């Protein structure tokens, strides 16, 4: 019988790597099932950020363990060295998770002629006292569905438009938020038939038809609106009667 002896350094690094993998899996569940449910991870740029963060964290932790581990060290010193490595790795992971958390999508907003994904980091703290009653400004458990109310007068519209040109998007202004249900007629009035989307760009036909097949719907009972996210543009598929979002596609429909 052949016995394979594994070097203690490799054994220690391997155990650390396995523990790091478990932590990474738990972090992935929190990020992609709670803060960035599909497809927000891709549309908000969280997928690449998370992979870089976890990749670096997983690589450096076991590597540091491999460097500092020495079975001939006094047990107390070895334990302290390993605890320092673990603490540094957890601190780095915690900072990365916090960065992902504060950038999470909090609302999907109907913005008069489009849908916009609003992220927590985009809403200035000074705006939070303007949130209408009954609306959670920064939900943790995934984005909520909102709409912008009509402007009260021309002056409000002019000021909001000027602010938008200066970089303060309409959808990050809580005083304009309202329940999505109240805006359903306006949503359906602004939405467009899928035939016009596929006519605008024939290359969209295949992914749109695949999305409809996945949803088990026809093009006749589905409409769309352009979608804006922090890092890219897309398309929101909506129910043609209820205006409820059905899918968010990475197809620039502007």
The DSSP string of 119-136 is: EGGGS-GGGGGGPPTT--
> Which single residue is written with the structure tokens 């803060």?
35
Q: Which residue has the higher pLDDT, 241 or 24?
A: 241
pTM listed for this prediction: 0.81
For the stretch 106-140, pLDDT in tens is 999 999 989 999 999 899 888 888 889 889 999 98
Does 29 score more than 70 pLDDT? yes
- Domain residue ranges in the chain: 8-102, 106-188, 191-254
The mean per-residue pLDDT over the stretch 1-19 comes to 68
For 44-97, the DSSP string reads: TTHHHHHHHHHHHHHHHHHHHHHHH--TTS-HHHHHHHHHHHHHHHHHHHHHHH
SS3 of 2, please?
coil
The continuous run of DSSP H or E covering 30 comes out as helix 8-30
Indicate the range of 66-75, 80-89, 173-182, 215-224 predicted with least confidence: 66-75
Task: Return the pLDDT at 4.
Answer: 41
Residue count of the chain, please give it: 254
Q: Which residues contact 227 (CB under 8 A, 6 or more apart)?
A: 43, 114, 115, 116, 117, 233, 234, 235, 236, 248, 249, 253
Return the bridge partners of 179, or none: 146
Mean pLDDT of 13-32: 84
Supply the pLDDT for residue 6. 57
- The three-state secondary structure class of 187 is helix
Q: How many CB atoms lie within 10 A of CB 111?
A: 20
CA dist., res. 252 & res. 254, Å (int): 6
pLDDT of 186 reads 94
């Amino acid at each position: 019988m052949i016995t394979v002896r594994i070097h203690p350094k490799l054994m220690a690094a391997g155990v650390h790597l396995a523990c790091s993998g478990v932590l990474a899996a738990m972090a992935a569940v929190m990020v992609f099932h709670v803060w960035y449910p599909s497809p927000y991870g891709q549309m908000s740029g969280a997928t690449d950020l998370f992979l870089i963060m976890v990749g670096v964290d997983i690589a450096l932790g076991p590597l540091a363990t491999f460097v500092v581990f020495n079975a001939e060290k006094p047990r107390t010193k070895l334990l302290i060295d390993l605890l320092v490595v673990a603490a540094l790795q957890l601190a780095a992971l915690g900072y990365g998770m916090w960065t992902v958390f504060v950038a999470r999508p909090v609302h999907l907003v109907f913005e008069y002629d489009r849908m916009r994904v609003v992220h927590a980091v985009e809403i200035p703290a000074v705006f939070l006292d303007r949130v209408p009653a009954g609306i959670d400004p920064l939900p943790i458990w995934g984005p909520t569905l909102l709409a912008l109310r009509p402007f009260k007068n021309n002056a409000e519209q002019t000021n909001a438009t000027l602010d938008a040109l200066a970089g303060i998007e309409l959808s990050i202004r809580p005083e304009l938020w309202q329940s999505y249900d109240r805006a359903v007629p306006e949503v359906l009035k602004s939405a467009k038939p899928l035939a016009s989307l596929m006519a605008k760009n024939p290359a969209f036909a295949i992914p749109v038809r695949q999305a409809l097949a996945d949803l088990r719907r026809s093009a006749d009972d589905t409409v769309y609106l352009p979608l804006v996210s922090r890092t890219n543009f897309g398309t929101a598929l909506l129910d043609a009667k209820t205006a409820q979002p059905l899918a968010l596609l990475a197809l620039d429909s502007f």
